[in-house]
Amino acid sequence: MPNDFYGLPLHPLIVHATVVIIPTAAVVVLLAALWPRFRQWAGPLPVATSLVGLILVPLSTSTGETLERHVERSAQLREHTHLADGLLPWMIGLTVVASIGYALYWRSAREGSVRRAFTMAVAVLAIAAAAGTAVQVARIGHSGAEAAWADTSMSAAPPSD
């Protein structure tokens, strides 16, 4: 895999896709688990968005590790790397919940109703997986921004008279 795209490191480019797709997947999975009308409308969308997010996690990690070899190690970067290593299990969980939820929906559409206990269990798991995934992405993003911008300062322009 190349390290850059027209001179820009790949990591920030791929990460921007990751931080859009993964929270979107979390919301879509959550809505599908809790709202039957949305579940019917969305069909396989929760599975598809979570699979795209699941694919983006190792791409983000790989490009991050490549970038890490070219920048100075700092406490912020170590924290970012540590947090990022914890995202894959959350995405696997979200994808599994999305897949089970879709399988239950598909089965109920073909054979009639599914036990309410199964639907409730998927809803509880979806809440946990979506919340955990979203929180982890926010923590990773925040620590990444701190690592990227730690050595810069932003000052307001002096007021004009």
What torsion, rounded to 10 degrees, do the Cα atoms 122, 125, 127, 128 define? 180
In angstroms, what CA-CA distances link 140 with 11, 18, 108? 13, 11, 38
Whether residue 47 is predicted with pLDDT greater than 60 in this model: the reply is: yes
Read off the pLDDT of residues 73-93 as tens digits, 9 standing for 90 and up. 888 888 988 899 999 999 999
At 156, the pLDDT band (50, 70, 90 cuts) reads: low
Read off the pLDDT of residues 56-69 as tens digits, 9 standing for 90 and up. 999 999 988 888 88
Whether residue 121 is predicted with pLDDT greater than 90 in this model: the reply is: yes
Average pLDDT over residues 14-20: 94
Average pLDDT over residues 95-113: 87
Q: What is the predicted pLDDT for the residue at 107?
A: 80
- Domain 4-149: assigned CATH number: 1.20.120
Whether residue 26 is predicted with pLDDT greater than 70 in this model: the reply is: yes
Whether residue 16 is predicted with pLDDT greater than 80 in this model: the reply is: yes
At 22, the pLDDT band (50, 70, 90 cuts) reads: very high
- pLDDT higher for 31 or 69? 31
Q: What is the predicted pLDDT for the residue at 109?
A: 73
R_g (Cα) of the chain, nearest Å: 19
Read off the pLDDT of residues 122-153 as tens digits, 9 standing for 90 and up. 999 999 999 999 999 999 999 988 888 876 65
d(CA 20, CA 94) in angstroms, rounded, equals 15
Tally the residues of the chain.
Answer: 161
Q: Over the chain, what is the mean pLDDT? A: 88
